[in-house]
Amino acid sequence: MGTADASSKDVAFSLAEKKPKVVFVLGGPGSGKGTQCANIVQHFGYTHLSAGDLLRAERDSGSENGNMIQNMMNEGKIVPSEVTIKLLEKAMLESGNDKFLIDGFPRNEENRAAFEAIGRDDDNIETIRKRFQVFLESSLPVIEYYKAKGKVREIDATKSIEEVFEAVKVIFSPKDEEVKKCCAIL
């Protein structure tokens, strides 16, 4: 089954799956980060992402976080990691590239730990593998039990949400008197 919209978890997962190469470009203001990033982009095909620029663009977009970002920046404070990381993830995914120079981020330990937490791709993939194995070993026999009794209605869940729901509707439609007797396994 799919999900209604791309949650930040989905975005993080699809990003982690790509195993992107991420280089943090760190250094004091005026140290020439931007200039060298431009050179690296030209010569090595990286995509340059400035966390500060992404935050300014988000502030100017009139989003609900706009005022908060403005206030934090005016005070020279660090915007909550969640906000900055979401912008970085989105930009990384939209770029289509798999090599990034992230400039001006992470700015503190919390930034760093939060960014690393989204990159635990192996954990996620491994967990999904384990869950699928448990499904095959333990849950499939339950479906087989009901199938043998003619109580299973199967649906192809690889299609779009709308198409899958069309099939669900058929099963639950009052015309199908059998729905009272059976259970549907999606």
Q: How far is the CB of 52 from Mg ion (least distance, A)?
A: 5
Closest CB 135 distance from ligand UDP, rounded Å: 40
What whole-number distance in Å separates Cα of residue 172 and Cα of residue 183? 10
Q: How far apart are the first and last CA of the chain?
A: 8
Give the distance, in angstroms, between the CA of residue 75 and the centroid of all CA atoms in the same chain: 30
Q: Binding to ligand UDP by residue 92, rule CB under 6 A? A: no
Q: Return the bridge partners of 46, or none.
A: none
Cβ proximity to ligand UDP: between 16 and 79 the closer is 79
Name the residue among 35, 63, 65, 69 with its Cα closest to residue 51: 69
* Residue 83 interacting partner from Mg ion, ligand UDP, none (CB closer than 5 to 8 Å by kind): none
Instruction: List binders of Mg ion among 7-66 (CB under 5 A).
Output: 52
Q: Which does 73 bind (CB under 5 to 8 A by kind): Mg ion, ligand UDP, none?
A: ligand UDP
Q: Which stretch binds ligand UDP (CB under 6 A): 8-16, 71-79, 114-122, 123-131?
A: 71-79
Closest among 90, 87, 85 to 117, alpha carbons compared = 85
Residue at token pair 């798999």: 98
Instruction: Give me 44's structure tokens.
Output: 């090595």
Site for ligand UDP in 128-157 (CB under 6 A): none
Residues that bind ligand UDP (CB under 6 A): 29, 51-52, 55, 72-73, 76-79, 84, 104-105, 107
